[in-house]
């Protein structure tokens, strides 16, 4: 039986790229996004690959996350691997104004709390899922060491949310040693977020997604709790 991978934030960008690669590699893919009816490309990709229809999920809302858990249980859909891709940047990314409380809370709600709660309700943590993998799409901007070395404070709120996400991932890895947890920096990718502020990113979505899926496939127990990039190279916390 094909392993089932649940992907959040799958309607565009890296998430959609991950869905395409996973379908090509023969996984059963459960793709989620806030509004499947407004995601024509995702629907087409899943239909052409004979995959289940996309699932509605808003990681900012507990009720929506709980509905996901109920849907998976009711339809007997065991999740073997989880890719927490859904995430947001500050409204003026990559340049933060003075800290905006409402905006910062939104980032932490989605990038940290939403990620953790989806992990908890997805079923991936079950004790019989030995060797299951949880890939949390992080960012090099969440590395304290890399930030100090690089000498840039741009995107401070986003950096802080991703650093907190990394810590949450490390704690989950300690709590569930039968699974492999990874924080993965997907690279600087040609997406809406990657191109914000008129910037030109280094990587295509296809290159990034291919690398992330390869890292997921190759990661063994010795990798759990590590912070790596799309090439599998370890990064500083």
Decide: 183 and 227 in contact? Cβ < 8 Å. yes
**Is residue 235 domain-resident?**
no
Q: Which helix (H) or strand (E) holds 207?
A: helix 205-218
- What does the pLDDT read at residue 172? 98
Q: Is the dihedral of CA 154, 155, 157, 160 positive or negative?
A: negative
pLDDT of residue 99: 85
Please calculate the CA angle 75-20-108 and round it to the nearest 5 degrees.
Answer: 75
**Total domains, the chain:** 1
Residue 199 is assigned to a structural domain of this protein:
yes
Q: Spell 81-117 as b/e; 16+ CB within 10 A means b.
A: bbbbbbbbbbeebbebeeeeeebbebbebbbbbbbbb
Model confidence at 131, in pLDDT bands (50, 70, 90)? very high
Per 3-state DSSP, the chain is made up of helix, strand and coil in percentages (nearest 5) of: 45, 15, 40
Q: Stretch 195-216: mean pLDDT, rounded?
A: 85
User: Does residue 135 contact residue 83 with C-beta atoms inside 8 Å?
Assistant: yes
Does the bond joining 94 to the residue before it have cis omega, within 30 degrees of 0? Answer: yes
Contact 15, 54 (CB under 8 A): no
Average pLDDT over residues 31-44: 98
The CATH number covering residue 57 comes to 3.40.50.720
* pLDDT classification of 92: cutoffs 50, 70, 90: confident
pLDDT band per the 50, 70, 90 thresholds, residue 85: very high
Residue 114, in any domain of the structure: yes
* 236, part of any domain: no
91 pLDDT above the threshold of 90: no
Q: What is the pLDDT of residue 184?
A: 98
In the predicted model, is pLDDT for residue 193 greater than 70?
no
At 204 the pLDDT is: 94
Q: Is the pLDDT of residue 133 over 70?
A: yes
Is pLDDT at 139 greater than 90 in this prediction? yes
Q: Which of 4-18, 97-111, 125-139 has the lowest mean pLDDT?
A: 97-111
User: In whole angstroms, what separates CA 63 from the centre of its chain?
Assistant: 20
Asked if pLDDT for residue 192 goes beyond 70, the answer is: no
Expressed as residue numbers, the domain containing 129 is 4-229
**Which has the minimum average pLDDT: 91-95, 189-193, 232-236?**
189-193
Contact yes or no for 186/193 (Cβ under 8 A): no
The whole-number pLDDT of residue 197 equals 59
Describe the crossing of helices 156-175 and 101-108 by its angle, rounded to 10 degrees: 30
Note whether residue 234 is domain-resident.
no
Non-local (6+) Cβ contacts of 156 within 8 A are: 96, 99
Helix, strand, or coil (residue 28): strand
Structural domain contains residue 224: yes
Q: What is the mean pLDDT of the chain?
A: 94
In a domain, 61, yes or no: yes
CA distances from 168 to 63, 98, 171, 186, 202 (A): 21, 26, 5, 18, 28
Domain-embedded: residue 237? no
């Amino acid at each position: 039986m094909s392993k089932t991978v649940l992907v959040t934030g799958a309607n565009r960008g890296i998430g959609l790229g991950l869905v395409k690669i996973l379908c090509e590699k023969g996984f059963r893919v459960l793709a989620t996004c806030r509004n499947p009816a407004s995601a024509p490309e995702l629907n087409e990709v899943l239909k052409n690959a004979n995959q289940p229809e996309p699932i509605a999920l808003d990681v900012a809302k507990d009720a929506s996350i709980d509905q996901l858990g109920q849907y998976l249980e009711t339809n007997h859909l065991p999740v073997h691997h989880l890719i927490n891709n859904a995430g947001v940047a500050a409204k003026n990314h990559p340049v933060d104004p003075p800290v905006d409380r409402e905006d910062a809370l939104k980032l932490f709600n989605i990038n940290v709390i939403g990620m953790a709660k989806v992990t908890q309700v997805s079923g991936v943590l079950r004790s019989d899922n030995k060797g299951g993998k949880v890939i949390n799409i992080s960012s090099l901007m969440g590395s304290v060491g890399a930030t100090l070395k690089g000498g840039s404070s741009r995107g401070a709120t986003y950096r802080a949310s991703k650093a907190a996400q990394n810590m949450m991932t490390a704690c989950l890895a300690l709590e569930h040693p039968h699974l492999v947890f990874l924080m993965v920096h997907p690279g600087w990718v040609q997406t809406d977020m990657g191109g914000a502020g008129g910037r030109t990113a280094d990587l295509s979505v296809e290159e990034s997604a291919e690398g992330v899926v390869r890292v997921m496939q190759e990661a063994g127990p010795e990798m759990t709790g590590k912070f790596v990039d799309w090439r599998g190279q370890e990064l500083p916390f």
